[in-house]
């Protein structure tokens, strides 16, 4: 053991030396980066549209006030500095004075105010800026955000294209920002790249912004998103070197295959902020799953280790609660329901579901999101097999398309469903929505469709959303995770195995918490590809 740790220290020292050597290797300018992607954007204005398709290129085109690294630490971007008042209800941003939009006009406090107001009025993530009461602009490069209540998630939301800074002189002309013609043509931001061309469902061409306010950057001359709908074709494009980077890869077989390539690096880093959780949701109001004992029995029958280790061949990690591992608020100190079929049967017995002559105790249905087969259909089918062992006859319901599934689930016509909601950085943005009593909204998908309601949880979440002290805030979220793991409105299974494959000659890969939903001004070719 001792010898091992000595060896480890030595390896670490060597690795550190190597890291320093690489850091000394100054980034080189020039070259083209080709990304392969399945996502077809509707337009490029992330102030009024969520979804990776818009947010990723949007983050290269539009600069934001702050930016984040791989450790959830925030750094200056358009804002030089920011301070929060003692009561947490006012945040002051000092802007850089040298930042200009792609059309040459300076970025001022008026643009920031306009951006925040436009986002608040139009963006689907209502909680990201919902607490904003007013935006003051004492001078052209100072912005004071006044809040109704403390909102510690504010700066994190501003560190990616959830809150992009858009030019008032372009988008403030009175037209509806959701359908503004400049969302797709002549898009003007202040980010590292300028949108040159978009051929719908074919490619997105971004070119280097020569007047970017961070001198010397970006290093790439252009970024091209090649849109390829078929996943096997994307894999082959990477293998043949036609693509240099393949983000948001979720097919287990493709990940395993590309990992074998000696030309590529495959990493699961870059998704901590997005936090894609895969879970089995229960109808907690109607049917047998309204009984918490039935939900616990189901949890005891489903083996997360088998799913992550076998079905996903070790490329995904287990998810034990509403907040994904990788978030600073995550705790593993919760009930984990390690597989135990005896306990599961005992719980069903206790809940009054006696074994009938044919060995079944009760019947349930399971739905799944008709996408990302590996983390939906395959888990649903595995669950059916496991639940049969404890006497639950499960019928898998296949939805031919997304609207069919969304209609069923949002109208609460289900027993159980597989689903994959994202955390989106701060729990306030992506986690609260699934568990709050007042977010039980019939007909709205990705609201609290489990119809779970616990006033105590509501109270904890309300307090946690406003707590400015990080330690106290974490304590509240730990409590929240523990209560939910006891009551199981959903059984969390795994983090979606998102991976990025990239050419090994690339330096500065996007491994921050937001992955490619970031400026991408620090990526470069160590050696130009042939």
Partner 1 sequence: MNTPPPAVPAEEPVVIEVERPWREAWRMFRQNTAAVAGLVTLTLIVLVTVLGPFVYPVDPFAPTGPLLLPPGEQGFLLGTDQQGRDLVVGLLYGSQSTLMVGAAAAAITITIGILFGALAGFYRGWVEEVLMRITEFFQVLPPLLLAMVVVLLFSPSIYSISIAIGVVSWTSTARLVRAEFLRLRELDFVKAERAIGARNARIIWTIILPNAAPPLIVSAALSVGVAILFEAGLAFLQLSDPNVMSWGYLISVNRPQILEAWWPVTFPGLAIFITVLSVSLIGDGLNDAFNPKLRQR
358 vs 401, beta carbon nearer partner 1 = 401
Query: Residue 353: which residues within 8 A CB-CB, separation 6 or more?
Result: 288, 294, 361, 362, 391
**Would you state the structure tokens that stand for residue 48, as one six-digit string?**
């009024």
Structure letter (DSSP) for residue 503: E
Residue 160, CB half-sphere, CA atoms under 13 Å: how many? Answer: 34
Q: How far is the CB of 493 from partner 1 (least distance, A)?
A: 16
The stretch near partner 1 (CB under 8 A) out of 28-36, 176-184, 318-326, 388-396 is 388-396
Separation CA 192–CA 184 (nearest Å): 17
If binding is defined by CB under 8 A, does position 388 make contact with partner 1?
Answer: yes
Choice from 378, 441, 474, 479 touching partner 1 (CB under 8 A): 378
**Total number of residues binding partner 1 (CB under 8 A)?**
29
CB 351, CB 293: distance < 8 Å: yes
Residues 393-412: x where in contact with partner 1 by CB under 8 A, - otherwise, as a string: --xxxxxxx--x--------
Separation CA 246–CA 265 (nearest Å): 10
Q: How far is the CB of 165 from partner 1 (least distance, A)?
A: 40
136 vs 111, 130, 170, 343, 385, CA distance in Å? 12, 16, 21, 59, 59
Separation CA 167–CA 112 (nearest Å): 8
Backbone angles phi, psi at 48, to 5 degrees: -125, 10
195 vs 33, 162, 187, 225, CA distance in Å? 14, 19, 7, 11
Choice from 385, 459, 486, 504 touching partner 1 (CB under 8 A): 385
Q: How far is the CB of 447 from partner 1 (least distance, A)?
A: 24
Q: How far is the CB of 365 from partner 1 (least distance, A)?
A: 10
Choice from 119, 180, 251, 515 touching partner 1 (CB under 8 A): 251
129 vs 254, beta carbon nearer partner 1 = 254
Choice from 109, 231, 376, 417 touching partner 1 (CB under 8 A): 231
Task: For helices 455-466 and 470-487, give the axis angle rounded to 10 degrees.
Answer: 160
If binding is defined by CB under 8 A, does position 267 make contact with partner 1?
Answer: no
CB 348, CB 362: distance < 8 Å: yes
Choice from 69, 349, 381, 487 touching partner 1 (CB under 8 A): 381
CB 30, CB 219: distance < 8 Å: yes
- Report the helix count and the strand count for the chain, using DSSP H and E: 16, 21
Choice from 179, 211, 233, 310 touching partner 1 (CB under 8 A): 310
Q: How far is the CB of 404 from partner 1 (least distance, A)?
A: 8
Choice from 51, 200, 253, 336 touching partner 1 (CB under 8 A): 253
Separation CA 330–CA 127 (nearest Å): 20
Choice from 370, 440, 475, 479 touching partner 1 (CB under 8 A): 370
Site residues for partner 1, 438-497, by CB under 8 A, read none
The stretch near partner 1 (CB under 8 A) out of 44-52, 310-318, 319-327, 506-514 is 310-318
Choice from 146, 169, 178, 257 touching partner 1 (CB under 8 A): 257
97 vs 411, beta carbon nearer partner 1 = 411
Site residues for partner 1, 312-351, by CB under 8 A, read 313
236 vs 265, beta carbon nearer partner 1 = 236
Quickly tell me which residue has 């390896």 as its tokens: 11
230 vs 262, beta carbon nearer partner 1 = 230
Separation CA 200–CA 67 (nearest Å): 29
Choice from 122, 140, 142, 373 touching partner 1 (CB under 8 A): 373
- The CA R_g of the chain, rounded to the nearest whole Å, is 24
Residues that bind partner 1 (CB under 8 A): 231-232, 235, 251, 253, 256-257, 310-311, 313, 370, 373-374, 377-378, 380-382, 384-385, 388, 395-401, 404
């Amino acid at each position: 053991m001792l010898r091992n740790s000595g060896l480890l220290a030595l390896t670490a020292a060597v690795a550190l030396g190597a890291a320093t050597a690489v850091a000394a290797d100054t980034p080189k300018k020039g070259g083209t980066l080709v990304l392969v992607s399945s996502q077809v954007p509707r337009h490029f204005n992330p102030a009024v549209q969520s979804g990776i398709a818009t947010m990723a290129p949007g983050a290269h085109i539009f600069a934001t006030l702050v930016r984040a690294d791989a450790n959830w630490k925030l750094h200056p971007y358009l804002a030089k500095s920011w301070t929060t008042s003692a009561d947490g209800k006012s945040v002051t941003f000092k802007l850089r004075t040298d930042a200009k939009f792609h059309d040459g006009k300076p970025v001022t406090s008026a643009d920031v105010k306009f951006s925040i107001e436009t986002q608040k009025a139009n963006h689907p993530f209502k909680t990201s800026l919902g607490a904003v009461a007013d935006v003051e602009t004492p001078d052209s490069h100072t912005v004071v955000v006044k809040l109704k209540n403390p909102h510690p998630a504010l700066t994190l939301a501003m560190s990616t294209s959830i809150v992009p800074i858009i030019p008032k002189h372009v988008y403030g002309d009175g037209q509806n920002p959701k359908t503004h013609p400049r969302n797709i043509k002549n898009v003007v931001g202040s980010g590292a790249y300028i949108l040159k061309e978009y051929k719908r469902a074919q490619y997105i061409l971004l070119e280097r912004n020569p007047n970017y306010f961070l001198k010397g950057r970006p290093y790439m001359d252009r970024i091209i998103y090649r849109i390829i709908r078929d996943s096997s074709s994307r894999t082959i494009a990477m293998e043949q070197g036609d693509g240099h980077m393949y983000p948001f890869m979720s097919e287990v077989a493709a990940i395993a295959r590309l990992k074998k390539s000696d030309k590529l690096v495959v990493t699961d880093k870059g998704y901590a902020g997005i936090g894609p959780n895969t879970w089995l949701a229960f109808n907690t109001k109607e049917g047998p799953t309204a009984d918490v004992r039935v939900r616990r029995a189901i949890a005891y029958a489903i083996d997360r280790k088998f799913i992550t280790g076998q079905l996903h061949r070790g490329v995904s990690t287990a998810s034990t609660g509403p907040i994904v591992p990788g978030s600073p608020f995550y705790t593993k100190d919760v009930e984990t329901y390690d597989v135990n079929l005896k306990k599961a049967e005992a719980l069903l017995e206790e809940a009054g579901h006696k074994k009938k002559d044919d060995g079944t105790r009760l019947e349930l249905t399971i739905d799944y999101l008709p996408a990302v087969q590996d983390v939906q259909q395959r888990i649903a089918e595995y669950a059916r097999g496991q639940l049969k062992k404890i006497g639950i006859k499960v019928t898998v319901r296949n939805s031919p398309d997304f609207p069919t599934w969304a209609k069923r689930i949002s109208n609460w016509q289900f027993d159980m469903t597989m689903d994959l909601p994202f955390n989106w950085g701060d729990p306030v943005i992506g986690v609260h929505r699934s568990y709050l009593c007042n977010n039980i909204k019939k007909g709205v998908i990705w609201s609290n469709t489990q119809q779970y309601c616990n006033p105590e949880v509501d109270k904890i979440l309300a307090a946690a959303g406003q707590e400015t002290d990080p330690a106290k805030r974490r304590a509240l979220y730990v409590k929240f995770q523990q209560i939910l793991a006891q009551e199981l409105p959903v059984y969390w299974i795994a983090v979606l195995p998102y991976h990025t494959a990239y050419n090994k000659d690339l330096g500065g890969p996007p491994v921050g918490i937001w992955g490619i939903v970031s400026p991408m001004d620090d990526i470069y070719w160590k050696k130009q590809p042939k």
